[in-house]
Structure 1
């Protein structure tokens, strides 16, 4: 005949209340474990698991003490401690699973099985600790049901704790309701397990070694210690949260000030809902009132009309493809002013897997104005350099212009002689006149090139034939080369390399490099040769080299030749190579130098190009 027991409903209610208290602590502690990093996270994980495990274990033991049998019952305390260890282990598993960045279904299922096994293990280990003059038997069906309930309740608990883990408030009605539901569900497994047990009186002697009885005072002590431990855990969590909030507020204040100083605002955008979040600096950049709700339509209204279509196309493609984006555009402000902004957006995945963008935009208006001023200053400097160089070439240029003029005068005199003969020779006169026209065109062409170099203008960039630029400069500087007995050799690519650029500035680069080569050979003995070569480096780049047989690069100072104001010439400005490099780099290219063997130097530059049509 089985021993019939009954329940002390006051203790049953106490066990349920402890379960709710432990559930609330679990929801709160999970947030601290998730927010912590490094060794702090490990401390919160172990400390939180200990407090949570004690709460679950206390609910279990007070629930067991609520079951009153008409016989004496003692508990084997080493086994009791083992059951406590099982509860703490189950809590470690739970907090570890819910503190991960994402909880996949497979991870949630595995965690709930392990946690449920730990809780069920705690329960049945705890029942094994009972020492009483009876044989304990279990209903297999109810045992399986209790274990299944433990796993299902664990799955629900993990899902609920994972949902509340980012809760920033220390107390919330939603969290309290969740703890109440979870706390009411946890004892279901325990009391199902208790219902699975039945007790049959036995006459065998009891082994009461390491066994203790639990009095009413002991029950109160277990409950009291549990409330103290859980209360201290919640108090510590609350203090830590307050410190974290203060630290976050300071960090946000620093970030806001940094954004204001750097004119950089931040934003968040959810394309699926259209929700847009802006920082205060972003509102200031767009000059919108803080109460204005940002929308895509309102933003596009602020974009400069010339840029609005491109910005809309970029944002639509980014939201459709779920990819990062970066662009610059202009804003047309209400007061008529224009702002330039640089936008960078990075894709993140929300908890639901939906695409979200987090980004920053920087007001680069001052930088754009500074770049424009720098470009104007560089253009002025390049113009001065051209004028200075042309001044140095006055004698050679005069010679170049004088040649066709002299030839034209000679042909004109010949034409007059043919016409003033007794029998005018019209054909010879016509031929002489044709040569006059040709010489005049040649002189005009030379003067035109000189005028181009003297002009201070910024013509629009166009496709330029580099071979043609080289030939123009060879013609222009031919007199200077002849003056110093320098032979000029060209080896030009058969397919003319085309580059997008400013013809005059590219002419200036060639003129500077060729003049440097000429100057380097003025005083040397032996062969004086200036070799100019153009070739296609690859499908998207061409390379030009200017080589001489002069004195070569300055020893120990070769790395300084491109520095501003560095020169080895007695009357040099030290700006020619500096300007040339800036021109090449502004065209997306590169300029460098190297030494020749046995003497001389070579200067190379590459530019982006396209194949001739």
Structure 2
């Protein structure tokens, strides 16, 4: 049998702690350095990917700018060419001659057809169109006055004009380029204008996977691959700019230009900016780079999906972690090999010492054996035939965190058994006690005294005393935590998450049932008392009505139990079309006793044409019950004449907004953040679950529950729910 273990020496424990502190500091430093390397690798990869993406965006912008210059530049000469034609000059000098007007129409029509532009037209000095290539079309420009257009005033002043806007006659947007028509004395007689549509360019942009847009000097988007961004502004448009746009009728009758739904942040010292927005209801994250358009007061913005940069960073993290893991495994392998060589050397040294000192006294041999066992990094544990621990060495104590005095004499279950592995521990224990321990050892997860897990390999063999009798079992325990840490940590996280979810579900079900059944049970008590009174008075009709109400509340309690159980399991329970007026009426009917007792007459304002809700009728009714009950409780400290309960509903975009307002004591702003927290209550005897459950039910119906204070005192709770699909 192993020698008796001496009482723990406090000085030895302090020395052991001092001995292991440098190792802990080294491992902590290595862990911190590893995390820093991983973070730097991810940041470097993200920076590199962002710069590459920005370069790609700039190249794409150059391509788009080239296409834009090509689309606008090919028609720039057209007004100057038409302005030199004799028939144009003749018509401006004699605008009343119909033959000249017809000749000019046909000339402009043919020139426009050959050039491929949209419309080519001639305007006199008053701004009236004398001839146009679309003279025969239903929306001909002939006869229309464009004196308010900037391109006309620029050309009339002797300069070439360029202007992008919505056509006053056709309502179609386009780029207007104009040139003056000069007479003999260099006098400006009129203006020739060509309109060019950029629709083909915009249609080609819509084939791109990422957004492209053009903005004017005011930041208004007039060309975009995302249709819903058109005529929105990247920044607020000042009053002067709005007045100028309306005066020029640049974008038709529009009087305002809402800002784009962007959240813009600079991308550090990298080029471009980060844009968070939504497209077709999906959240998107882009890197945007803007480039000015040469010779035009426009800004071209090209975007690219920034999530690629984030994925690149994550990939870099994974690669860095993989490399560090390989290095760690290599180091562990080297350490294990060195440990094995050291153990082999120790074993040979032990054998030599035993041979040399076999004639020494038994006491010296025992002392030597104990010193050897204490120095081993392998844990040693001895148990007798009843399973009682009779010996542990310091290495085993370090593995488990328990002192020898806390373990000696203990029977299973042992304090270091892992609570999640109790069955497995019992299985190995019973196999050992039956004389069939694993010959190749088995893996065992232990729980350290301070709470962390220790993975070990346990090798067990029988203890035979000097007389050849079976005296117990000796186990050597090797700490293999480092080798198993990665997979063990993953299994623990999964098991703990599942355990926590089960506990949370059970707790939520128990608390929800306790809270939600309170009102039906109170109603059952009230109806039963009324039935007893009616029975004593012999009023059969009222007695039957009270019994019917009692049965209805019992059925309601069973329905609540069934619905809450399904809700805790996160299943949709009994979705049906519900009328808001019916839900409110049913909730008030269940609380008529409390309303009468509190001397409160509810004011209900619900339109008759309000659409139906789609949801669980019982759960939605329970939400209203809780909100009205809370309002009644909040008004207990208010004089009866001042108690008011208002319930109104109205249709809002995409749903219905229902409000429950009272004139109670209100909610202290100091606790406003805790109102929806579970188990928080200011009501004596309350569970603190009502509003938490209400919000959970509303969110499960894809709705929202909020509250706010009222002027003059009181609180209004707002319930927003989607309407039932048609």
Which structure ranks higher in relative contact order (CA pairs < 8 Å, sequence separation ≥ 6)?
1
Q: More helix per residue: 1 or 2? A: 1
Q: TM-score, normalised by structure 2?
A: 0.30
Mark the structure with the bigger radius of gyration: 1
TM-score by length of 1: 0.35
